[in-house]
Every structure is written in C-alpha cells, then in structure tokens.
Amino acid sequence: MKKYLNFIRDWRWIFAVIGVGVLADQMTKFYAINYWKESERVLIDNVLSLTYSENTGIAFSIPIPAVVLLPLSVLFLIIFFVLMSREFDAKKLGSQVFLGMVIGGGIGNLVDRLMHGFVVDFIKMGSYPIFNVADVLIVAGAIGSVVFYGKLKKNN
C-alpha cells in the first residue's frame, strides 16, 4: 500500500495536468460543436477566429484512413511515453508538467477519434491550419520537454 501511495504522490502533477488538459480540451470542443458549428466567430480580423472543423486526417489535416490512424495514435503515445520515461524524473515538476501536457493532448484527440471518428478543430490563426486545445498541449509539452531536458543535460 505504501508503494502505491508513493507512486501517487510522486506522479500527482502528471495526473493533474493530464486531467486538466483532457477536461479543457473536451469542454472547448463541446462548446465548438454546439456554438461555432454554424458560423465562424472572428476575434481579430485576419489573425484569429473560432471556426468549427472536422479533422479526419492527422496533424495539419493530412489525410490518413481511420483504420491506420487509431493504431498510429496509440503507438505514438506509447513510443513518446517510453522515450520520455528513460529521461523522466518524477521528482522534477517540469518533467511531470510537460509529459502530462503531451499525454493529455494525445488523450483528448484520441477521445474525439473514438467518439466521433474525427477530431474537432476550431482555432484558426491566419492561414495556418485549424487546430484545438489538445494540439496546443502536445506542441507546448513537446517543446517544453526538449528545452527542459536540454537544460538538465547541460547542467549534469
């Protein structure tokens, strides 16, 4: 029992970030489905708008059949988790936050694929492809991980 409690204590931030990330992603997608599906909401002309889109492809809407995409998504999460866990230090808050962001974003998009057969995207910035909160979490978490681990290796 003590070993289990230590695991929960050591990993509490990663679980919290995953939970908050998935919740924020799914709540914003629910809002997009129910309020932005019919019309675009322009926030800043030619810069930022909320535009509902159903992404059946992968990142940047690259088309890939769902029968290939679901296993690839799961495989990517497993590979990322294994690679990160080799360098992962549960005692470091940065490790937990950045890894939690990537996993939370991946789970958020995976939930969409399983529930809808596509990922709901709604954030449009200029001519850049439409994306969502999960995509932001994945990219920010990956960049944060690279910077964080780069600094750790440099200091060691």
Residues belonging to the active site: 121, 135
Nearest to 107 by CA among 133, 143, 146, 145: 133
Angle between helix axes 133-155 and 93-116 (nearest 10 degrees) is: 150
E strand or H helix that includes residue 121: strand 119-125
56 φ/ψ angles, rounded to the nearest 5 degrees: -90, -5
Q: Which of 49, 48, 70, 50 is nearest to 58 (CA)?
A: 70
d(CA 135, CA 148): 19
